Amino acid sequence: MSALLLEVEGLTKHFAVTRGMAREKVFVRAVDGVDFAIARGETLGLVGESGCGKTTVGRLILRLIEPTGGAVRFDGRELTALDRKRLQPLRRSFQIIFQDPFASLNPRMTVSEIVGRPMEIHGLTRRAERDEKVGELLAAVGLRREQLARYPHEFSGGQRQRIGIARALATRPQLVVADEPTSALDVSVQAQILNLMKDLQGRFGLTYLFISHNIGVIRHISDRVAVMYLGKIVEMAGKGALFSKPLHPYTQALLAAVPSLDPRRRQEEVLLEGDVPSPVNPPPGCRFHTRCRFALPRCSREEPEFRPRADGRWVACHLY
Amino acid sequence: MGTLLRVDDLHTHFLSAGKVVKALDGISFEIREGEVFGVVGETGCGKSVTALSILRLIPFPPGRIVSGAIRFRETELLALPPDRMRAVRGKEISMIFQEPMTSLNPVFRVGEQMREVIMLHQGLGKSEALEAAVRMLERVRIPEARKVAGQYPHQLSGGMRQRVMIALELSCRPALLIADEPTTALDVTIQAQILKLLNELKREMGTSILLITHDLGVVAQMCDRVAVMYAGSIVEEAGVAAIFENPRHPYTQGLWGAIPLAHDEKPTLAVIPGAVPDLSRLPEGCKFHPRCGRRFAPCDRIRPQMTAVGDGHRVACHLYGGGEPS
């Protein structure tokens, strides 16, 4: 058994869109050659701003959408080569938690149906014992067994997210992709959910790909962190190293932009001006060079390779 | 610094499914000339209703300002006839919202929308007003302001739209700008740009800002004084340094402890157990007592009053006296 549960190589997704009056067909390069791996029991945080491609990466790994190119190996098996029929039995091993606990639960299903359905589909329970098994899971995520027959609208946002987590765990997965699981929640409820996810990780031996734009949340939950910008990972490192000494100029600017909770430390300097360029026509060379403080002449011509350094950190930047 | 706006014992209620929802349950605070006053709290605590009440934009029905006073300079806003109130809005007190796209009209060019507002409030002619609009866009550091004035809102990025909103709302030099989660819909690098802009404009124009947010980092970086709201009440009010160094109310302490930090390691996150109460069935006594780890005898019977615990630092909690029962 390999120590790596998930290996991703050159993962790419280009969405075709038509644009303007001329119905011109262009490609949004949402994910453009992404490499990373996650070890068993580890949490990899995937962080970046809107449109950087982090959600698309999560969905590609689960084959909820089809990649344009690249490889996804799960537990040593190449997923991208499998057809639907052969993929289906493997799906129980990788599940997802969505951002919006209001939109991601079917309002016409009871909690028992929502959480029990995945078990039935994968033949993990019979109808007669379903409530028993769902009840156990509800207790594990901090809900009460008596709430089995209730509908989603009877729960608060935080409780709904617990239902979403119970559903993800129903098939006893190894990998859980959590896509902004606390972004719709208030901070006091967010803390409950983050603590629960850490607790469940230990109890069920879970591996997480945790996707978020919230840098504080990423720092709290992750073992390692990958930073995305315009469809590419620009830096990946252990949490301690990344936060104490970010290498990539984008990571530096991103971390510096988070307002500090220390009112005596007012941040006047803004490291990043302007907006993210369009993923339809990303800048040539390094995609960040148009906004980079340290840009060299070669940055606009030559794309920096994403590669490991001697200390095990990965960075895609000509400075290193 | 003189007082610009004073809110006294304001009650705003909504009628929902036959029940009275006490969105604001007797709040009092003041905003001084030139300061940034922050109102912070979680969803449903009443922070946005506070803003809408000040502008008298509470939709009726179902909402209604039941009692209280809102004094702006020498004027009692709640006593103004509607046409006088309309003149206050946008000219003396203006407001920017979380999502600028919903506040900008999608079918008019940016410059046209700004021109209308400037003509209405400043009595300028068409071409003069357009020139004033372009100058205002330059003032909020929009590159190629004249070009942007000719564009439609959908052609701009989220950060640019918020700059346009700020330009629009500051074009009449209001004394008070209400900013309701102005950067919540924006990415963190764009947020940093907008916060810097608001700080610079405040210094240049001397505008007071009522900043409503759930983001404590934004509070720490922007505000002079802060009020923390919970379930329709202010539970603590203090200068920004005091409230971050020495939060006193158990809810404030819980909220502070629950935030995962980007700039520091925090081994565990504090949890406030339970959930916010239903505003139509508020608990007796202190509204926070069912979730409070430090509750004692009076908490489930007597509503605590705001009590001074330091220079400008007030808290509504029986641990600190809690004042006379109401």
pLDDT averaged over chain A? 94
Other CB atoms within 10 A of residue B163 CB: 24
pLDDT in tens, A160-199: 999 999 999 999 999 999 999 999 899 989 999 999 999 9
pLDDT in tens, A239-261: 999 999 999 999 999 999 999 99
> Residue A77 — very low, low, confident or very high, per pLDDT cuts 50/70/90?
very high
Instruction: Express the helix, strand and coil content of chain B in percent, nearest 5 each.
Output: 35, 25, 40
Q: Which residues of A touch B266 (CB under 8 A)?
A: 220
pLDDT in tens, B152-203: 999 998 889 999 999 999 988 899 999 999 998 889 999 999 999 999 999 9
Q: Which residues of A touch B258 (CB under 8 A)?
A: 187-188, 190-191
- Point out the residue among B223, B254, B268 whose CB comes nearest to the CB of A188: B254
List strands edge to edge, sheet with B176-180. Answer: B93-96, B176-180, B208-213, B36-40, B225-230, B233-239, B313-316, B306-310
Q: Which of A117, A115, A107 is nearest to A135 (CA)?
A: A115
Cβ contacts from A onto B, under 8 A: 120
Q: What pLDDT, on the 0 to 100 scale, is given for residue B276?
A: 86
pLDDT in tens, A136-160: 999 999 999 999 999 999 998 899 9
> Residue B324 — very low, low, confident or very high, per pLDDT cuts 50/70/90?
low
pTM above 0.90, yes or no: yes
Q: Which of A281, A229, A283 is nearest to A27 (CA)?
A: A281
Alpha carbon of B231 to those of B23, B188, B234, B299: distances in Å? Answer: 7, 28, 8, 16
Chain A nearest C-alpha distance from B189 (Å): 5
Alpha carbon of A178 to those of A224, A303, B195, B276: distances in Å? Answer: 15, 30, 30, 25
Chain A interface mutation, best of B263, B276, B313, highest count of A Cβ atoms under 10 Å: B263
State percent of chain A over pLDDT 90. Answer: 84
Does ipTM exceed 0.95?
Answer: no
Place of tokens 């003189």: B2
Q: Which of residues 227-246 of A touch B (CB under 8 A)?
A: 243
pLDDT in tens, B61-70: 899 999 999 9
Q: Which residues of B touch A192 (CB under 8 A)?
A: 271
Q: What pLDDT, on the 0 to 100 scale, is given for residue A271?
A: 81
Q: Answer whether B272 sits within 8 Å of A268, measured CB to CB.
A: no
> Residue A263 — very low, low, confident or very high, per pLDDT cuts 50/70/90?
very high
- Point out the residue among B190, B260, B275 whose CB comes nearest to the CB of A220: B260
| Contact yes or no for A209/A223 (Cβ under 8 A) | no
Q: What pLDDT, on the 0 to 100 scale, is given for residue B3?
A: 96
Instruction: Look at residue B56 and tell me whether its pLDDT is greater than 70.
Output: yes
Across the range A261-282, mean pLDDT stands at 86
pLDDT averaged over chain B? 93
Instruction: Look at residue B224 and tell me whether its pLDDT is greater than 50.
Output: yes
Calpha distance A41→A201 (Å, rounded) = 7
Q: Which residues of A touch B42 (CB under 8 A)?
A: 186-188
Q: What pLDDT, on the 0 to 100 scale, is given for residue B274?
A: 83
Name all domains of chain A by residue range, CATH numbers in brackets.
4-315 (3.40.50.300)
State percent of chain B over pLDDT 70. Answer: 99
| Contact yes or no for A187/B255 (Cβ under 8 A) | yes
Which residue in chain B is spatially nearest to A219 when comparing CA positions? Answer: B262
Calpha distance B280→B42 (Å, rounded) = 17
Instruction: Look at residue B295 and tell me whether its pLDDT is greater than 50.
Output: yes
- Point out the residue among B190, B262, B269 whose CB comes nearest to the CB of A194: B269
Q: What is the dihedral of CA B311, B312, B318, B323, to 10 degrees?
A: 100
Q: Is A202 on the interface with B (CB under 8 A)?
A: no
Chain A nearest C-alpha distance from B101 (Å): 17
| DSSP conformation class of B98 | S
pLDDT in tens, A218-244: 999 999 999 999 999 999 999 999 999
Instruction: Look at residue B101 and tell me whether its pLDDT is greater than 80.
Output: no
3-state per-residue secondary structure call for chain A: CCCEEEEEEEEEEEEEEEECCCCEEEEEEEEEEEEEEEECCCEEEEECCCCCCHHHHHHHHCCCCCCCEEEEEECCEECCCCCHHHHHHHHHHEEEECCCCCCCCCCCCCHHHHHHHHHHHCCCCCHHHHHHHHHHHHHHCCCCHHHHHCCHHHCCHHHHHHHHHHHHHCCCCCEEEEECCCCCCCHHHHHHHHHHHHHHHHHHCCEEEEEECCHHHHHHHCCEEEEEECCEEEEEEEHHHHHHCCCCHHHHHHHHHCCCCCCCCCCCCCCCCCCCCCCCCCCCCCCCHHHCCCCCHHHHCCCCCCEECCCCCEECCCCC
Instruction: Look at residue A127 and tell me whether its pLDDT is greater than 80.
Output: yes
Calpha distance A14→A60 (Å, rounded) = 11
Instruction: Look at residue B325 and tell me whether its pLDDT is greater than 50.
Output: no
Q: Answer whether B217 sits within 8 Å of A261, measured CB to CB.
A: yes
Calpha distance B41→B215 (Å, rounded) = 9
Three-state secondary structure call for residue B31: strand
Chain A nearest C-alpha distance from B187 (Å): 6
- Non-local (6+) Cβ contacts of B168 within 8 A are B104, B113, B114, B117, B136
Q: Which of A263, A224, A213, A46 is nearest to B256 (CA)?
A: A263
> Residue B326 — very low, low, confident or very high, per pLDDT cuts 50/70/90?
very low
Q: Which residues of A touch B271 (CB under 8 A)?
A: 188, 191-192, 195
Q: Answer whether A266 sits within 8 Å of B254, measured CB to CB.
A: no
> Residue B222 — very low, low, confident or very high, per pLDDT cuts 50/70/90?
very high
Q: Answer whether B269 sits within 8 Å of A191, measured CB to CB.
A: yes
Q: Which residues of B touch A187 (CB under 8 A)?
A: 42, 214, 216, 255, 258-259
Across the range B268-277, mean pLDDT stands at 88
Q: For residue A18, list its beta bridge partners.
A: A25
